[in-house]
Amino acid sequence: MGGHTLHIDIAIIGGGVAGLWALNQLRNRGYSAALFEQRALGSYQTIGSQGMIHGGVKYALAGAWRGDAQTISAMPAAWRRCLAGTGAVDLRGCRVLSEEFFLWSSGDLQSRLGAFFASQLLRGHVRKVASKDYPAPLRSGQFRGQVYRLADLVLDVHSLVNTLASRQRDAIFAIDWARAGLRREGRQAVLALPDCTVVPQQLLLTAGAGNEHLVAGLASTRPQMQRRPLQQVLVRHHYQEPFYGHCMGTNPSPRLTISSHRDH
């Protein structure tokens, strides 16, 4: 490319779902945008996610069913439009693992959750499951809780990444940070590559945990990196059907989330 300068509308750094989604939506709206990823698309946080598109029930459990939580309640429907090819991003071809997932509670939470899920706010979002219809992992004589079915989605994350990337291959580039650099010139971000310099009008950082280092490279400390004590384990089982669900404890947030993934 001869060491020239390339001016574009938006440079996106980070090739997970957030970056790929933004790239699709921006280019669909006519912006000149390019995405840069140092490893495989969807590495780390995206590929380690469980693909659950939730409708904000956990926020409702915390008593915050308003504002952002009500916006999130529309997410499953928004994603379904995308899967049908009529939404903000074309996700036709993306594999859907499940059209719903479960939420279950221990016995001491039965009355509180029962009254809560029967409320007007959540009608259409949640349905109670009869004991005869419990999914296999919860069919135990020792189980004393309640089971609910959430009208939310579970997507195959590999398929989602591939679908998003397939629409924009000509705007996705590998970047080697040993040979590239991100710097700030006044209020302008500049991305220096071995063969050219990219000068975007706007810079979008979607690199997950990598954002902290990128922000520091721009001589800034904000926004501050958010970290959560998430722990993941792998358990092999012999159930015939996949299982996706949240286990509720005494706190508003789920104490455990389970998703099924087949060996390839």
Q: How confident is the model over 186-195, as pLDDT tens digits?
A: 889 999 999 9
Q: How many C-beta neighbours within 10 Å does residue 154 have?
A: 21
Residue 133 confidence (pLDDT):
94
Distance in angstroms (rounded) separating the CA atoms of residues 259 and 245:
7
Strand 153-155 relative to strand 52-53: parallel, antiparallel, unpaired? antiparallel
CATH for 1-51+156-223 is: 3.50.50.60
| Residue ranges for the chain with pLDDT beneath 50 | 1-2, 120-121
Q: Of 160, 154, 195, whose CA–CA distance to 41 is shortest?
A: 160
Query: What is the pTM (predicted TM-score) of this model?
Result: 0.88
Sequence ranges of the domains in the chain: 1-51+156-223
